[in-house]
Every structure is written in C-alpha cells, then in structure tokens.
C-alpha cells in the first residue's frame, strides 16, 4: 500500500497589476503651440542603391529610326524655322530687285564728253577768231604809214571817215581795240600822251546801203594817211614816233 502524499498547496493567485493615470495638469497649464516643420530643399541626387544590372544575354537593344545627317531633312519636311518665324532663304519683306545704273552712267559720260567737246570747240573758235584778228592787224600794220614828228606832252590825233550808210568801225587807239556799229560820216579825236604810238581804223559796210568813201588820220594837224574804198572797206593806219 502506498502512503498517501500530503496534498500540495494550491499556488496563490496574485492580484492583477493596476496602472495609475498620470496626474492631471494644473488648470493654468496649456500645451505648447504646434509649429509646422519648414520644408527643406531637396537634397542632391543620390545614386540608386542598386548597382546597374548588365542585361541578360537574351535582351536585344531596341531599334531606333536613323537620324538624318546634319543639314538633311526627310522628304516632305522643312528645316526648322529661323528666328522670326521664317524658313531659311525667306525674309519678312521681299526686297525689290536693284535697278541697274548702266544707262545713267553712260548718260553722264556722254554729257561730260559733249560738254568737253563744246568747250573745246568754243575755245577753238575763239582761238581762230583771235588768229584772224591778229592776221588782220598784221595786214593793217603792214600797210601803215610811218610818221616822225616833234615831241610833245600829248599828241592830238583826228580820225575821220566819209561816206554814207551803216558801217562797222574798228578803232585801235594805241592801248586797246574796240568795235562799234555806226553810220557815216564819222569823226573822233584822241589825245595820246606817248612819244611812240600806233593808231588805226577799219570801216566795213553793213548791208547794201553801207558806202564808205574815204578815211583820214591827222597827227598834230598834219594829214598822215588818206585812203579810198576797197571792196566796200577802208583801212587807215599810222605809226608815230618823235
């Protein structure tokens, strides 16, 4: 027979723990104000943590359309517009074609040539006239009368032309030559303050009514030369010396 064991005492059950609430804040206390957190600028770009995985052997690179060469554009397309919205080769305002000035230049050259020819021709005619006058003067002097007289402070010279009608009379008074249109008869007196001088007159009829008959030159009261008509023209010249 077994001896009965004494009965084990049953374990004591502990009362459940109780937690006390924190003490209530005093009535005058208020929670601090809440402040919104200021946003911070995004940080620098960080490399992904995962390393670049080499594509598997079976992966194929996708095909992309071929890029056109620089300056070439696909058919039917236009190059990008330039600044201002106009394609290359176009301007906002189409400029009018420049007019050629060839005609203007030719006209200017022709005008200059004509002016030069006119001036040259006029100068040539003037030279011809002067040469003719010099030749006429030389012819007059070649037919002049030479007179030697007394020496005075002034010498009185009287020139006369007889006849009728209109004439052209050219007179050389020892200093200058002048030509006038007048009618016959004609007379003029000169006072020459030189010891040596040349005086002459030439009378030419103007029209059919002009009729010169005689010219006379007197120096200090002495007739030096008298001439009659010759082809409706008269010439009297004297060279005086004292």
Q: How far from 86 is each of 3, 77, 91, 92, 109, CA to CA, in Å?
A: 121, 15, 7, 7, 44
Residue 167 lies in a domain: yes
**Residues in CB range of 159: below 8 A, 6 or more apart:** 171, 187, 188, 189, 190, 199, 201, 215, 216, 217, 236
pLDDT by residue (tens digit) across 160-197? 999 999 999 999 988 888 999 999 999 999 998 888 89
Structure tokens of 35? 């402040």
Instruction: Please check the confidence at residue 136 and state whether its pLDDT lies above 70.
Output: no
Q: How far apart are the first and last CA of the chain?
A: 217
Q: Name which residue leads in pLDDT, 207 or 86.
A: 207
The answer to whether position 206 is within a domain reads yes
CB 172 within 8 A of CB 200: yes
In angstroms, rounded to a whole number, what is the distance separating the alpha carbons of residues 118 and 124?
A: 10
188 in the same domain as 116: no
Say yes or no to pLDDT of 89 above 90: no
- Residues 36 and 30: their CA atoms lie apart, in Å, by 18
Least confident range from 127-131, 160-164, 209-213: namely 127-131
Residue 208 lies in a domain: yes
Clarify whether residues 117 and 185 are in a common domain: no
Note whether residue 5 is domain-resident.
no
Show the tokens assigned to 50: 């995962």
- As for how many domains the chain has, the answer is 2
pLDDT over 80 (residue 88):
no
**Position 12 in a domain:** no
| Coil, strand or helix at 93 | coil
Last residue of a domain, one of 121, 142, 163: 142
Question: Domain for residue 92, yes or no?
Answer: no
Is residue 160 domain-shared with residue 115, that is, in the same domain?
no
More confidently predicted of 105 and 6: 105
151 within some domain: yes
Examine the domain organization and report whether 156 and 135 are in the same domain: no
Q: Range with the lowest mean pLDDT among 81-85, 102-106, 109-113, 120-124?
A: 81-85
Its domain, for residue 155, covers: 146-241
Q: Among residues 123, 142, 161, which one ends one of the domains? A: 142
The residue among 142, 158, 183 that closes a domain is 142
Predicted pLDDT at 39: 55
Residue 29 has pLDDT above 80, yes or no: no
12-21 tens-digit pLDDT? 555 555 555 5
Query: What's the whole-number average pLDDT of the chain?
Result: 72
As a whole-number percent, the residues of the chain with pLDDT over 90 amount to: 19
Which of these, 152, 203, 214, 201, lies nearest to 181 by C-alpha position?
Answer: 203
Q: Same domain, yes or no, for 114 and 159?
A: no
Q: Please indicate, yes or no, whether residues 166 and 232 belong to a single structural domain of this protein.
A: yes
Both 150 and 136 in a single domain? no
Residues 221 and 156 in one domain: yes
Both 151 and 129 in a single domain? no
Q: Are residues 165 and 223 in the same domain?
A: yes
104 — pLDDT class (breaks 50, 70, 90) = confident
Report which secondary-structure segment, H or E, holds 129.
Answer: helix 102-142
Q: Are residues 210 and 129 in the same domain?
A: no
User: Of 147-151, 164-168, 221-225, where does mean pLDDT reach its minimum?
Assistant: 147-151
Residue 128, domain member (yes or no): yes
126 and 200 inside one domain:
no
Question: Would you give the DSSP letter of residue 23?
Answer: P
Rg of the chain in Å (alpha carbons): 68
């Amino acid at each position: 027979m077994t001896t009965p064991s004494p009965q084990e005492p049953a374990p004591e059950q502990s009362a459940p723990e109780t937690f006390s609430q924190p003490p209530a804040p005093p009535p005058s206390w208020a929670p601090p104000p809440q402040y919104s957190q200021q946003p911070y600028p995004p940080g620098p770009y960080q490399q992904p943590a995962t390393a670049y995985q080499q594509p598997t052997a079976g992966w194929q690179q996708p095909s992309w359309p071929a890029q056109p060469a620089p300056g070439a554009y696909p058919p039917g397309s236009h190059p990008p517009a330039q600044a201002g919205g106009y394609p290359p080769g176009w301007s906002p305002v189409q400029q009018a074609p420049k007019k050629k000035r060839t005609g203007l230049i030719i006209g200017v050259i022709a005008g200059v040539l004509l002016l030069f020819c006119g001036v040259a021709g006029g100068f040539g005619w003037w030279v011809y006239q002067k040469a003719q006058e010099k030749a006429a003067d030389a012819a007059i002097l070649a037919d002049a009368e030479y007179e030697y007289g007394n020496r005075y402070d002034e010498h009185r010279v009287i020139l006369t032309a007889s006849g009728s009608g209109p004439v052209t009379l050219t007179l050389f008074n020892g200093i200058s030559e002048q030509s006038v249109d007048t009618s016959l008869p004609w007379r003029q007196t000169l006072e020459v303050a030189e010891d040596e001088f040349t005086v002459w007159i030439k009378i030419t009829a103007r029209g059919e009514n002009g009729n010169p008959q005689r010219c006379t030159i007197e120096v200090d009261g002495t007739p030096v030369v008298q001439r009659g008509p010759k082809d409706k023209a008269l010439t009297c010249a004297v060279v005086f010396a004292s």
